[in-house]
Amino acid sequence: MKLYKYIILLAALIIPNILLNAQEPEFRVLGKKGNVNSQSKSSSWTDLKTGDRLFKNDKIKLSGDSYIGLVHSSGKTVEIRKEGTYNISKLTKDVSAFRSSSSERFAKYVIAEITSGDALLSQKKYKRTMGNTGAVERATGGDVSYMATFSSLSGQDLSQYSALNDAIECVVKTDKNYIRIKYPRSSYLIDNKVDFIWYKNNSVSIYEFVIIDRDDNIIYSTKTSDTMLQLNLSELKLLKGTNYYWYIKNNELKSDQYCINWLNDYDMKRLNEDLEPMLDGMAKGKDAASLILLASIYEDENIMNRAIEAYDDALKIEPDVDGYKTLYARYLSRIGLEDEALKLVK
């Protein structure tokens, strides 16, 4: 009889946890700052962390000058800044009308990122991930090389969309005696006007900016003392869907050559279909959580300047949210900007 009672008691303790784990969470925590706690049914209040799951019967409580950014399973983002207690069931009802398969897909990607740990900032992880982010270059030197193709971070093969999927050799630079490119680093472009940015080299006063085609014919060349140049792609008569390479040089010093490809009209239409539900939701104003999701879309499509812009805008709105800074730092690390990444996470 005692054994029977023991089994019943054990089942009463275990089964609710099994059922809870079997449920799909309504929200995940994208980022937070300040004092934010959650409470599940019949449990005490606990501190929320980035990546935590929130279920339908849960509650969250914000105290003082706090903030939380949530992403729903549908891909809709929610931000809360006002002190108080909120029912997850009510928040779920408020976003229930929003449905977007593309937003849901990118929300799953961001969730995978925020729950993956900090190891992505390591050099070893970066090398393995470069092939998925399309960090493709024609290198002038270095001692680590391997093959990579342009593809999306979510694992979708984009070979049907662009010639950028031609595999070319990649090199992780180790020689410091050269001109280092900031961005775009082997990226698709969707804007007519594009900023090309590189790092200052103290031994160089005048930089020569060069764009060439895949046969090394010079398409455009100019000289500047600045470390940024804005160009109009239409005025340069660049062809959409075509690979070009750009680099900086000065006498004996030269940067690596990075590939750019102005997205063709077919791919632009496909991208706009993915972006439409997200941009519609931001029509009344940008919020940090939505910008983080938007950055993941541009990241997935390897549109580097737009991804960086979205991450920057998110941190301008919420500069103290560690989760957002970590996501941005991981992206910078993946595209080879480790110095920039470390500045964010220090």
- Residue 43: inside a domain: yes
Identify whether residues 94 and 141 lie together within a single domain. no
- Identify the domain boundary among 243, 263, 283: 263
For the chain, the domain total comes to 2
**Per-residue model confidence (pLDDT) at position 175:** 46
- Identify the domain boundary among 263, 288, 319: 263
pTM: 0.76
Identify whether residues 66 and 141 lie together within a single domain. no
**Per-residue model confidence (pLDDT) at position 345:** 81
Contacts of 185 (CB under 8 A, 6+ apart): 135, 137, 258, 304, 335, 336
Candidates 97, 106, 115, 193; CA nearest to 155 is 106
Identify whether residues 139 and 259 lie together within a single domain. yes
Taking only the tens of pLDDT, the chain with its 346 residues reads 555 555 555 545 554 554 444 468 889 999 999 999 999 877 899 999 988 999 999 999 999 999 999 988 888 888 999 999 999 999 998 887 655 556 677 677 777 777 765 544 433 333 323 333 333 455 444 322 222 233 433 333 333 333 333 323 333 343 456 899 999 999 999 999 999 999 999 999 999 999 999 999 999 999 999 999 999 999 999 999 999 999 999 988 999 999 999 999 999 998 988 888 777 766 567 889 989 988 988 988 899 999 999 999 999 999 999 889 999 999 999 998 988 999 888 7
- Residue 285: inside a domain: no
b/e per residue 175-189 (b: at least 16 CB within 10 A): eeebbbbbbbbbbbb
- Residue 277: inside a domain: no
What angle do helix axes 322-334 and 123-133 make, rounded to 10 degrees? 70
Name the residue range of residue 214's domain: 132-263
Identify whether residues 234 and 136 lie together within a single domain. yes
Return d(Cα 46, Cα 58) in angstroms, integer: 11
Identify whether residues 146 and 191 lie together within a single domain. yes
- Residue 124: inside a domain: no
- Look up residue 165 and give its DSSP letter: G
Identify whether residues 88 and 156 lie together within a single domain. no
**Per-residue model confidence (pLDDT) at position 21:** 46
Identify whether residues 256 and 207 lie together within a single domain. yes
- Residue 197: inside a domain: yes
Identify whether residues 78 and 197 lie together within a single domain. no
Identify whether residues 84 and 137 lie together within a single domain. no
Identify whether residues 151 and 66 lie together within a single domain. no
- Residue 344: inside a domain: no
Identify whether residues 136 and 253 lie together within a single domain. yes
**Per-residue model confidence (pLDDT) at position 170:** 34
- Identify the domain boundary among 78, 99, 120: 99
DSSP string, 87-140: EHHHHHHHHTT---HHHHHHHHHHHHHHTS-GGGGSHHHHHHHHHHHT--EE-S
- Residue 33: inside a domain: yes
**Per-residue model confidence (pLDDT) at position 135:** 35
Identify whether residues 164 and 256 lie together within a single domain. yes
- Residue 66: inside a domain: yes
CATH number at residue 229: 2.60.40.10
Contacts of 117 (CB under 8 A, 6+ apart): none
